[in-house]
Amino acid sequence: MPHTHEVTNQVPPPYGHNLAEDPALLAALHRAGAGWAEAELRELGVLAGTEQAAEWGRLANENEPVLRTHDRFGHRIDEVEFHPAWHQLMNVAVEHGLHAAPWRDPRPGAHTARAAKFYLWSQVEAGHGCPISMTYAAVPALRATPELAERFEPLLASTVYDFGLREPLGKRGLIAGMSMTEKQGGSDVRANTTVALPAGDGTYHLTGHKWFTSAPMSDVFLTLAQAPGGLSCFLLPRVLPDGTRNALRIQRLKEKLGNRSNASAELEYEEAVGWLVGEEGRGVRTIIEMVNMTRLDCTLGAAAGMRLGVQRAVQHATHRKAFGTELIHQPLMRNVLADLAIESEAATTVALRLAEATDRAAAGEEGEALFKRLALAVTKYWVCKRGPAHAAEALECLGGNGYVEESGMPRLYREAPLVSIWEGSGNVAALDALRAMARSPQSLEAYFAELDAVAGADRRLDAAVAGLRKELGDLDEIEYRTRRLVETMALTLQGALLVRHGDPAVADAFCASRLGGDHGNAFGTLPAGVDTEAVIARARMVPA
Ligand SMILES: Cc1cc2nc3c(=O)[nH]c(=O)nc-3n(C[C@H](O)[C@H](O)[C@H](O)COP(=O)(O)OP(=O)(O)OC[C@H]3O[C@@H](n4cnc5c(N)ncnc54)[C@H](O)[C@@H]3O)c2cc1C
């Protein structure tokens, strides 16, 4: 072999670090009274930082799920085949209770502990987070009918991942999905045309279609259909109690921008058997319990993507030299990295605050339930909206290598827009915040109570809060202006949380750029005076 060149100036592989070495995450865990989970979180963080876990993520995405409509003899089977790496990822997630731990063991801080683990493990691979999140979210909706919850909840909360279509109650653990979106409307689910008719034996027969149903190999689905009493929520099993397949046909799988490891299907119901969940005509009210949990996971997923992106960017810049010195020492690169780190930390902090609110609301704190009602809509809108821009900038820190599939950055970039689309796309999330304020003025009071708790600590924050109060006083053309308003609400909340609980350098940089108005439209436009060294240090990978 002729010798052509030495390979130099390439960065070491980004493995062997502990993803739980995340100062904002650990601080949030302890604040929420979930410090008891730190050892488990660290254990998962080590696994998540291994080359093996990264390899599962790569393989699950490069070997996309395949639909098998029929068996070799021509019988309809409607099954989806996954690469073994998908099952490995699911197995770790279920074993660690990311799909249900707070339902099995509802101790104080359980939702925050679960959220922290979900955030860590999502950094390995985002696609399988979808069925994991839906299983977690299905339980509160299912509780609208206690006898269904009694039957299925123990299996949904089991820590055994038992893949394959069999009679649900004969399995060792179950996965749940959600089918709302139809061809004619996804945001406006009241436009659903699927019909549910009472079968006379306590069950209903559903006929119609669903345009998007992810994780179609789930054991049970919560779905919406028009019953005689109006739009209602149903639980549909893939396999009926007598062992036969329910008449739920998978028409095809979507070819998606990202989220390739996960299957997203189009379904048809041909008198499929369903059990009513909650009351007839109250389908939206019932399934919203599920949607609220998955919205939290969208926010956690977006924050997880940012953490992954900034850590990779900092790692690359630490080792890569250009123009005689490491990139991390170039002043403009420091500005970009610090800006990405600030965004990431603000996202992690607010997402975990909402997990804490979930815990405290579950413990009966009414103020926390009100805070969550509004702050979740605000945060879902903003944090998810920031994901794609953050991923693009993090990718660019790796230069051409970041554009190449092997770096993992293209996958992060393709995944990023999704959490903003599902569970209420940008506009719908922003409008939901408006609805929360209109219908529940107490939720606005609870939101301001969170801001006021830190009044006087930072003049830029105080000015932002005062400005926001003024903006809220002007309701002229409010729907047209919703995005601007909700963005300001999100930034002010993030600022308040960072000033109150965050690292002083991060809080100062956040207020100086996001609340002080001295920030350009691109990342890397922080004003002078930011302690970039301290901010970037928090995004460094720490060896396991
Ligand atoms: C990969 C993937 C997986 C999915 N998995 C599932 C699943 O498992 N189950 C499921 O039920 N659904 C699933 N969905 C569907 C998803 O939830 C919907 O696509 C989403 O809710 C938007 O609905 P839509 O596509 O019908 O768009 P539309 O409702 O037509 O909305 C189009 C655009 O209009 C905006 N808009 C809507 N109403 C208003 C308004 N009043 N004012 C201003 N703007 C408005 C929206 O924000 C959006 O930008 C999935 C989608 C994707 C991409």
Q: What is the pLDDT of residues 372-418, one digit of tens each?
A: 999 999 999 999 999 999 999 999 999 999 999 999 999 999 999 99
Long-range contacts of 477-482 (CB under 8 A, 24+ apart): 478/434, 479/431, 479/434, 482/427, 482/430, 482/431, 482/433, 482/434
State mean pLDDT over 94-113: 97
- Cα dist from 429 to 233, 284, 354, 382, 417, whole Å: 21, 16, 15, 9, 14
pTM of this structure: 0.98
Instruction: Name which of 10-24, 487-501, 507-521 the model is least confident about.
Output: 507-521
CA distance 146 to 437: 31
Residue 276 token pair: 């009513």
Q: What pLDDT was estimated at residue 277?
A: 98
The conformational region for residue 271 under phi > 0 = left, psi -120 to 50 = alpha, else beta, is left
- Ligand 1 atom with the shortest distance to the CA of 188: 29
Please provide the average confidence, as pLDDT, over all residues in the chain. 97
Residues 378, 446 contacting (CB under 8 angstroms): no
**Distance in angstroms between the alpha carbons of the first and the last residue of the chain:** 38
What letter would DSSP give residue 530? -
pLDDT at 196 over 90: yes
**Closest ligand 1 atom to Cα of 425:** 47
DSSP lists the bridge partners of residue 70 as 76
The CA distance from 507 to 503, in Å, is 6
* pLDDT for position 398: 98
Ligand 1 shell residues, CB under 6 Å: 177-181, 185-188, 212-214, 256, 259, 264, 418, 421-422, 425-428, 431
pLDDT of residue 247: 97
Q: What is the mean pLDDT of residues 1-17?
A: 93
Please tell me the predicted confidence (pLDDT) of residue 518: 83
Q: Which residue among 184, 224, 259, 428 is best mutated to probe the pocket of ligand 1, counting the most ligand atoms within 8 A of its Cβ?
A: 428
Residues 265-276 have a mean pLDDT of: 98
Cα angle: 370, vertex 376, 378; to 5 degrees:
110
Nearest CA to ligand 1 atom 31: 187
Question: What gap in Å lies between CA 47 and CA 20, rounded to an integer?
Answer: 10
Buried b (16+ CB within 10 A) or exposed e, 448-472: bebbeebeeebebbbebbeebeeee
Give the mean pLDDT of 524-531: 96
Where does the chain hold its CATH 1.20.140.10 domain(s)? 285-537
For CATH 2.40.110.20, list the domain ranges present in the chain: 23-281
User: Which residue has a Cα nearest atom 7 of ligand 1?
Assistant: 213
CA 419 to chain CA centroid, nearest Å = 6
- CB-facing half-sphere around the CA of 535: CA atoms within 13 A: 28
Helix runs in 404-525, H state only: 409-415, 418-421, 426-439, 441-452, 459-472, 482-501, 504-510
pLDDT band at 517, cuts 50/70/90?
confident
Number of Cβ atoms within 10 Å of the Cβ of 479: 10
pLDDT of residue 65: 98
Pairing of strands 176-179, 220-227: parallel
- Tell me the CATH number for domain 285-537: 1.20.140.10
Spacing, Cα 49 to ligand 1 middle (Å): 33
Note the pLDDT tens digit of each residue in 274-309. 999 999 999 999 999 999 999 999 999 999 999 999
Q: Which residue from 46, 137, 28 is spatially nearest to 92, judged by alpha carbons?
A: 46
Question: What is the CA(235)–ligand 1 centre distance, in A?
Answer: 22
Rounded distance, CA 229 to CA 439, Å?
A: 25
- Where in 257-376 does DSSP place strands (E)? 264-277, 321-322, 325-326
Q: What is the pLDDT of residue 511?
A: 97
pLDDT at 429 over 80: yes
Kindly tell me if the per-residue pLDDT of 2 is higher than 80: no
Inter-helix orientation angle 283-319/366-397, to 10°? 40
**pLDDT cut 90: percent of the chain above it:** 98
Q: How many helices (H) and strands (E) does the chain have?
A: 19, 11
Average of pLDDT values for 317-327?
A: 97
Ligand 1 atom having least distance to the Cα of 421: 20
pLDDT confidence band for 179 (50 / 70 / 90) = very high
Q: Is the pLDDT of residue 40 over 90?
A: yes
Instruction: Kindly state the average pLDDT of the residues 464-487.
Output: 95
* CA dihedral sign of residues 213, 219, 224, 228: positive
Which residues touch 536 (CB under 8 Å, ≥6 apart)?
314, 328, 334, 337, 338, 341
Distance 374 CA to ligand 1 centre (A): 20
Stretch among 88-97, 127-136, 422-431, 509-518 having the lowest mean pLDDT: 509-518
In 215-263, where do the E strands start and end? 220-227, 230-237, 248-253
The proportion of the chain whose per-residue pLDDT surpasses 70, expressed as a percent, equals 100
Q: Across residues 319-341, what is the average pLDDT?
A: 98
- Residue 33 is predicted with a pLDDT of 98
Q: Who's near 273: CB < 8 A, 6+ residues apart?
A: 199, 203, 204, 205, 206, 236, 237, 240, 246, 247
CATH number of 23-281: 2.40.110.20
Give the pLDDT score at 356: 98
Distance, CA of 453 to CA of 431 (rounded, Å): 26
